[in-house]
Structures are given as structure tokens and as C-alpha cells.
Amino acid sequence: MTTEIERIRHGPDKKESPNEMGAVRFVAKCSGNASEVLAIARESLEIAIRLADAGVFEEDVWVAALPGRFVGNSVPHPSQQEIDRELALPLEERINLQAEKKWSIRMFMNSFLPELDMRYWSWWDVAILDENQIVVIVEVKAWPFPWQSLRWLFKASGAIDLVSEPL
């Protein structure tokens, strides 16, 4: 069985299939730069997994390790006052805001914290359809599952958006 890092680099073994929960297909929408977006997303995820597996959760280490474009597309971490203001919004407004909101490196890093167990997906396979679209398949642990960290992985890597599609 291949590890997630091996699947990021080479795809799954031909004899493998996702766990019993299955897999979900996403399409990353790009602006003619799908190859570049995919390279940054792969590198960023591999770095994040390696740092998390090593128990390294210092934001400055992640900033130094992640690709410059990923870091450059991220925002400073919000203040407690900004977080409280957002939490005071009605649920529908918060949901809409979250879909468009840029993440900080700390928010991305925190999605890999083992004690929070927030990453309900793992990389399964990927293919570039054309320079405007990347198909990403992730193995999931639960259904439905949160995938905001996956969306941010691709948006910070230069994609316009990431949308889910049924397999």
C-alpha cells in the first residue's frame, strides 16, 4: 500500500482502491497555469505532511518551508476581535464568507494538528485535464467531510477555485 506522499508524487498503486468510505473528485479551476498550480500544491502538501508527522507546528517554520507563492497568497492570522466579529454573523453569512476567505498559514497548519483531527481527506490521485482544469481525487474518512483545507491548498497554490464533483 502506498503512503500519501507516494501518492502525491506518483499516484496510487494500480491494485489499490480507496478505503470503504470511498473517494471524492474535485476540479481545480485555473487560469492557464494548471501545471504550475499542481506543482505548488503537491510540494505544499508534502511539506505540510512531513512537518506535521515530525510534530513541527511553529508557524515561522511552516512559512520558511512552504513555497513562496503559497505563503504569498496567504494572509496574516486574524486577531481575536476579527474572529469574534465573524462568529457573531448569522450562520449563512459565515458559510458564504468562509468560501471566499483567504487563510493564514496558521489556519492551514492547524488543519494538520493530530489532536484536532480536522483533515478528513487524503490525496489519492490527480490529472491535468488542460491548462485550466486539474482533477483531484481524495480519499475520505467520513461523509460528509470538511474540505476547506483542500480548497485553500489549491487556491494558495494559484487556482481560481476548487469545486467538488461526484465520482
What residues make up the domain containing 141? Answer: 4-165
Contact (CB, 8 A) for 40 and 28: no
pLDDT of residue 128: 97
Number of domains in the chain: 1
What integer pLDDT is reported at residue 166 of this predicted model? 58
Per-residue pLDDT of the chain (167 residues; tens, 9 = 90+): 579 999 999 999 888 888 877 889 999 999 999 999 999 999 999 999 999 999 999 999 999 999 999 999 998 877 788 777 777 878 887 777 676 778 999 999 999 998 766 688 999 999 999 999 999 999 988 777 788 899 999 999 999 999 988 55
Q: How many CB atoms lie within 10 A of CB 120?
A: 19
Question: Distance between alpha carbon 117 and the CA centroid of its chain, in Å?
Answer: 14
DSSP 75: B
